[in-house]
Amino acid sequence: MFHQINEAMTAYHDYLIVLSPSESVTNSIKQLKNSSARVIGEYEGHYAKAHITIQYWPRKRSVWIDPMIPKLERDLQNLSPIILDLNGFDFFDHQYNPTIYAKINSTPLTEVWFKQLRKYFSRQDFIPHITIAKSIPNKAFNKLWPYFQKLEWNEQIKIDRLTILRRDTIGHDKSYKKIKEIPFNSRYDFYTFANSKHKAPASVEKQSASPQFSLF
């Protein structure tokens, strides 16, 4: 009986829908996470790969999710790739256990793009960001934040696909595995697309190349 219960539970998966940044940004975030661990010690999420979370679907069966993917592939052809500007660092207070993240500059064009994306998901308003140190104790935050507060990062990135990650809800391995990448419509230019959805045309800004990071 216990075997049957366990087998039923392992049929459930947690799904994470994300935007994956460029390799250069991923490597920079990895450097920052490693530097953070040297300052405050090991913390949850230290080894998580850089991403922008769009939707979390906990405890779902693949037979529920798999049929939704072809429709999502069709829907996302209505979206252009997106160009984002990284602009320093910030944190979510949460009152307890703050989260430090790489800040993404919000513009009228990025706002309208994310609004279009949210049409295909149940999640409503959120602040797009790339987590560096999630839900760390206040003592660790007070030790770590002064390093990020004075650190500058300005970089422009293009994201051209959505990524679906999955892990077993019950099990020893809590790491997510990539099961699907869904491209946005490469025939659409981001600025043309977003301006067409927005009332007033917005200007285009160029950002610098990827930096090398150290908190020390």
Read off the CATH number of the domain in which 111 is found.
3.90.1140.10
CB atoms within 10 A of CB 149: 12
98-143 per-position pLDDT tens digit: 999 999 999 999 999 999 999 999 877 889 999 999 999 999 999 9
In the block, which residue shows the tokens 């149940």? 122
pLDDT at 202: 56
Asked whether residue 193 is assigned to any structural domain, the reply reads yes
In a domain, 3, yes or no: no
> DSSP H helical segments within the chain, as ranges?
2-10, 23-40, 62-65, 68-75, 108-118, 138-149, 190-197
Buried b (16+ CB within 10 A) or exposed e, 113-123: bbebbeebeee
State yes or no: pLDDT of 20 exceeds 60: yes
> Is residue 213 included in any domain, yes or no?
no
Host domain of residue 134: 13-197
The answer to whether position 39 is within a domain reads yes
157 vs 8 pLDDT, higher one: 157
What is the predicted pLDDT for the residue at 176?
A: 95
**Residue 28 in domain:** yes
198-205: average pLDDT: 60
Residue 6 has a pLDDT of 47
- Residue 71, C-beta contacts closer than 8 angstroms, at least 6 positions apart: none
Closest CA to 32 of 128, 136, 102: 102
Tell me if 190 sits within 8 A of 205, measured CB to CB: no
Is residue 157 situated within a structural domain?
A: yes
Three-point CA angle 172, 178, 179, nearest 5°: 105
| Distance between CA atoms of residues 184 and 162, nearest Å | 7
CA distance 86 to 157: 8
Per-residue pLDDT for 8 more than 50? no
Residue 69: which residues within 8 A CB-CB, separation 6 or more?
Answer: 164, 180, 182
Q: How many domains does the chain have?
A: 1
Q: Is residue 161 part of a domain?
A: yes
Q: Is residue 7 part of a domain?
A: no
Q: How far is CA 88 from CA 91, 94, 149, 202, in A?
A: 11, 20, 8, 22
The pLDDT of residue 37 is above 70: yes
208, 154 contact by CB (below 8 A): yes
pLDDT(7) > 80: no
